[in-house]
Amino acid sequence: MTTSPRPERWVSLEERSGQFAAEIQATLDGVLPGERTIISTKVEGAERYLVTPDGLNPKARRIPLFVADEYLADLDVALYLSLDRTGQYLKTVRSDISIHSVLDRTPLLRYDYRSDMKADPVAHWQVYAERGAVSHLLTKASANAARTRRPHRPRTTCPACTSQSAASGSGRAWRTCSSFWYSTVASIAVMDGRPWLKAEGSDGADDSSGRSSGTYHPKRRGFFASWAGRWSRPRIRACLRTHALCARGESKSGESRRRPGGISDKDSDCWSSSFSEGWLNPRFRR
């Protein structure tokens, strides 16, 4: 009879959830200015944990995001952890990550993941692109052309969706919170970041305004570029590819999903025009 080797030190689930919260905090501290504390909350007697920024209510738990030192949006993060099927390890059963406008406090961009979904997508982005608050944020972010190529324009939104909902391109590969987490941080790269990210840039492609700028650039060798970037880029590309297929009415199985009224090939590049060159694409090149 063989026995599995005993771990040198048993780490409780509570401790693991605390370690996970610390990892999330380290990621945020690495790329965003300001200070915050990420904590894990549990209810006594149950192995269910909620990892969020510390605060008494959702408003207090939001993480402010800035563009050129102007407070424009809030990042909201809630990761729900429970036991996996073995009953020994923590599993992220649900993720709610969203960016809220300061104008009306309702979400601009939301990522939802549910592990108990019985049909795809188990994870999806919800982009509330029809609202003026999105234009407000993107226009402010676009004021500096080094960050985004052009302002948000209505023609770049997908005609298939009022609120755009993009199934995650690589399906279940996207569901894990850690790999997704890097992609999320990439998506908010138009926001002001840690000044040292700029100091470590080697290409000189940053803005010349002198303000702190943590915008992502692949040539940077900072915390974000070396670690998160290599995860986020292929996944975002996959997401964009899949959405383009959907918009053209094609699926992987070849079955037609074209909607009544149809979407032209020209329209199908809505993501590449409004996102891959702007918000969601971490490769902010001129």
Partner 1 sequence: MAEPVRTVTRSELEHRRHQLLGQLGLTLAEFRELAETRSLTSEEWDISEELDQIGFLLDDDIPTA
Q: Residue 114: which of 130, 91, 134 has the closest Cα? A: 91
CB closer to partner 1, 43 vs 119: 43
Residue 126, SS3 per DSSP? strand
CB closer to partner 1, 18 vs 229: 18
User: According to CB under 8 A, which one of 11, 41, 150, 257 is a site residue for partner 1?
Assistant: 41
**Which positions from 107 to 126 touch partner 1 by CB under 8 A, shown as an x/- string?**
x-------------------
Contact 178, 24 (CB under 8 A): no
Q: How big is the CA angle at 271 (ends 267 and 275), to the nearest 5 degrees?
A: 140
Residue with structure tokens 């234009």?
A: 135
Q: How far is the CB of 217 from partner 1 (least distance, A)?
A: 32
Q: How far is the CB of 96 from partner 1 (least distance, A)?
A: 7
Residue 206 structure tokens: 């940053």
Upper half-sphere CA count for residue 137 (Cβ side, 13 Å): 29
User: According to CB under 8 A, which one of 71, 105, 199, 285 is a site residue for partner 1?
Assistant: 105
- Asked if 14 interacts with partner 1 (CB under 8 A), we say yes
- Asked if 44 interacts with partner 1 (CB under 8 A), we say yes
d(CA 51, CA 181) in angstroms, rounded, equals 13
Please, what sign has the CA dihedral across residues 200, 203, 205, 208?
A: positive
d(CA 103, CA 74) in angstroms, rounded, equals 11
Q: How far is the CB of 185 from partner 1 (least distance, A)?
A: 20
Contact 24, 78 (CB under 8 A): no
User: According to CB under 8 A, which one of 64, 91, 96, 170 is a site residue for partner 1?
Assistant: 96
**Which positions from 73 to 92 touch partner 1 by CB under 8 A, shown as an x/- string?**
---x-x-x------------
Number of residues that bind partner 1 (CB under 8 A): 34
Q: How far is the CB of 272 from partner 1 (least distance, A)?
A: 29
State the residues that interact with partner 1 by CB under 8 A: 14-15, 17-19, 21-22, 37-46, 48-50, 52, 54, 57-59, 76, 78, 80, 94, 96, 104-107
